[in-house]
Structure formats: C-alpha cells, structure tokens
Amino acid sequence: MENRYDIITRINNHYGKMSKGQRAIAAFIYDHYDQAVFMTAAKLGETVGVSESTVVRFASFIGYNGYPEFQRDLEEWVQNKINSVQRIGVKYGRSSQSEILTSVLNADIEKIEDTIENLDSVAFETAVDIILEAKNVYIMGIRACAPLADFLHFYLNMMRGNVVLLRTTSVSETFEQMIRIDENDALIGISFPRYSMRTLKAMEFANDRNAKVIAITDSVHSPMNLYSSCNLLARSDMVSIVDSLVAPLSLINALVVAMCLKRPEDVKQNLKNLEYAWNNYQVYLNDEINFIDEEPMLNYPLRKDEA
C-alpha cells in the first residue's frame, strides 16, 4: 500500500510521529528538495545537523528499505516536477495568447468546481464560528500564500478587532508574536505545496497552547492538517509555471462573506466607523467612496430559504 504514494506524501503521512531530528530532515526536503536529491546520507545529515544514522532511520521510518531506495524515489519525484514544467511548455508553447487565457481560466474553473464538490461544509461552518468567537485571531501564510493571508487579514480587520498577521522570516520571531496565544484564540494557517515549515510550526505551537487551529490547504495528506481542529481544503495544482491560487482565494472570500452575513450589524457599524475616519481625516476624497447607505453591503444573492 505504501508504494502507491510518492515520497512527499509518505513524509506527510508520517510527520506527526517523527522525532525532532526527523522533522528537521523533512523540513529540509520540503524547502530544498532540489539540493537534497544529490546528497548522500552523510551530507544530508551534516547539512541538517543530525547524524548519518538518523537520516538512514528517517528513510526506513517513512517506508523505504534503505537510503538508496529513498534517494531514488526522491530523484523520481524531482524529475516528475521538472517534467511537469516541461509539459506546460509543450502544452502552451505554440498556443496563441487568447488560447492560453482560455485554457488557464478553464483550468481554474475546474479547480473551483472540484473544491466545491469536496469541501467539508461542517468544517466550513465551524471555521466561521471559530473566527467570529475567538478573542484574538492570528493569520499566517508566507511565500506564495502571503497574498491570501493579506486578503483575509484585510477583511477580518474590517469586521472585527484583534486580528494579527504573522509575517516573519524566522520561527523564533513568529513565536515572539504568538507568545500570548491561548485557548481563547484562533490561528489560521494557510499553506500549499511547497508546504511551509514555519507555518506548520506556528500551528503546532498554537495547538500546544490549546488555541483553535484552522488549516487552509490542498489535501487530506497535507502536513498542515496535523495540528488543526478544522481543515478547509481547496485544490491548488500547477496550471502554469506558477501554482493556481484561485480556488483558495474563492474559499477565503466565501469565509468572509459567511462571516458578514452572520454578523451584519457588527460589520455595518465597523464600516460606518471606517467611513467616518476616512472623511474626518481626509484619507480619501468623497468621490472615491461608495457610501454604505447608497450601496448594498453585500451583493451576494441568497437562496429563498436563507432570505
């Protein structure tokens, strides 16, 4: 059964039971697989800061008969990633600009449809309640996921107070920003392949402090699910040279809308306060503001049974 999975899926499946040294190896492979593929067990151990025997035991722990078999599987996985980029070049190389546009948009539509079919509605409703009821909400998404975290932070901050965007280049700084997190708080971790170990460690820390943890990620095999009490899955496959984040952004947008609809008066009052500040301090000219009373607060039609 184990042989059906690629090396990254194996690592994800075993991550929760790994030792500290094994997790360090996993983190290096996640972030530097293009280097790890050429390393001997001794070199990988030296780079990560563990013994050669720890690396060999790591390979056995995730289901390989030895390090050579582990390295062959890693090489095959890296080659498949390279080939996927080459296949994209073949697919789009002779296409016109309009054909590329249509193809990419259709692929994004397919990912949104797949997300709709597979999203856990109970988990979605639970996430809405957790975010609205938490004393403080922490959000973390780095690298390609940073725009998703920024988007969610911007709108959550307009709806409620005490929203903290964690953006840092080190795990220690992340912990410093989260040092007061407790059971009354919530952390939203956003990560898609390549998964972020910094985000994962923040989620682990929040879980250890009994905070509510929400994962926004791509798969049931994602390591982000290990420490979360609520998993929101959105499909994110390579559609071009970059990964598509359309479905995750739509999921986050749906979260924001659901929260607005659940606390409409709070949202409207916050927006009125913002509008007052904008006008009073001349942040924007009046002709740049859509006043709340002139426009519907939300322009999303509801089903008749929800009206």
Give the per-residue pLDDT at 278: 63
User: Are both 10 and 131 inside the same structural domain?
Assistant: no
Give the per-residue pLDDT at 123: 92
For residue 273, being part of any structural domain is answered with yes
CA dihedral 29, 17, 60, 201 (to 10 degrees): 10
Q: Are 165 and 188 in contact (CB under 8 A)?
A: no
pLDDT of 14 strictly over 50: yes
For residue 6, being part of any structural domain is answered with yes
Predicted confidence band at 4 (pLDDT cuts at 50, 70, 90)? very low
User: Are both 122 and 183 inside the same structural domain?
Assistant: yes
Q: Which amino acid is at 93?
A: G
User: Are both 247 and 125 inside the same structural domain?
Assistant: yes
> Token pair of 18, please?
């790994």
pLDDT of 78 strictly over 70: yes
User: Are both 186 and 243 inside the same structural domain?
Assistant: yes
Which of 92, 109, 133 terminates a domain? The answer is 92
For residue 160, being part of any structural domain is answered with yes
CA dihedral 122, 195, 16, 66 (to 10 degrees): 140
> Token pair of 92, please?
């789009």
For residue 107, being part of any structural domain is answered with no
pLDDT of 103 strictly over 80: no
pLDDT of 39 strictly over 70: yes
For residue 284, being part of any structural domain is answered with yes
Burial class (CB in 10 A: 0-12, 13-18, 19+), 116: middle
pLDDT of 250 strictly over 80: yes
Predicted confidence band at 126 (pLDDT cuts at 50, 70, 90)? very high
Q: Are 135 and 184 in contact (CB under 8 A)?
A: yes
Give the per-residue pLDDT at 209: 93
CATH number (domain holding residue 70): 1.10.10.10
- Give the span between the Cα atoms of 184 and 43, in whole angstroms: 44
Helix axes 7-14, 20-36, angle to 10 degrees: 160
Lowest mean pLDDT among 64-68, 216-220, 227-231, 278-282: 278-282
Give the per-residue pLDDT at 237: 66
Mean pLDDT of the chain: 80
User: Are both 239 and 127 inside the same structural domain?
Assistant: yes
pLDDT of 127 strictly over 60: yes
User: Are both 239 and 298 inside the same structural domain?
Assistant: no
Total number of domains constituting the chain: 3
User: Are both 255 and 130 inside the same structural domain?
Assistant: yes
User: Are both 38 and 82 inside the same structural domain?
Assistant: yes
Q: Are 202 and 140 in contact (CB under 8 A)?
A: yes
Give which of 139, 151, 127 is closest to 202, Cα–Cα. Answer: 139
User: Are both 195 and 253 inside the same structural domain?
Assistant: yes
Give the per-residue pLDDT at 239: 47
pLDDT of 302 strictly over 80: no
User: Are both 248 and 148 inside the same structural domain?
Assistant: yes
pLDDT of 222 strictly over 50: yes
User: Are both 19 and 66 inside the same structural domain?
Assistant: yes
Domain span holding position 140: 118-262
For residue 113, being part of any structural domain is answered with no
Percentage of the chain exceeding pLDDT 90? 31
CATH number (domain holding residue 195): 3.40.50.10490
The predicted-structure confidence for 256-275, as pLDDT tens digits, reads as follows 989 888 877 777 777 777 66
For residue 26, being part of any structural domain is answered with yes
Residue bearing the bigger pLDDT, 291 or 51: 51
For residue 105, being part of any structural domain is answered with no
Lowest mean pLDDT among 16-20, 198-202, 204-208, 284-288: 284-288
> Token pair of 161, please?
């107070």
Give the per-residue pLDDT at 212: 95
User: Are both 30 and 140 inside the same structural domain?
Assistant: no
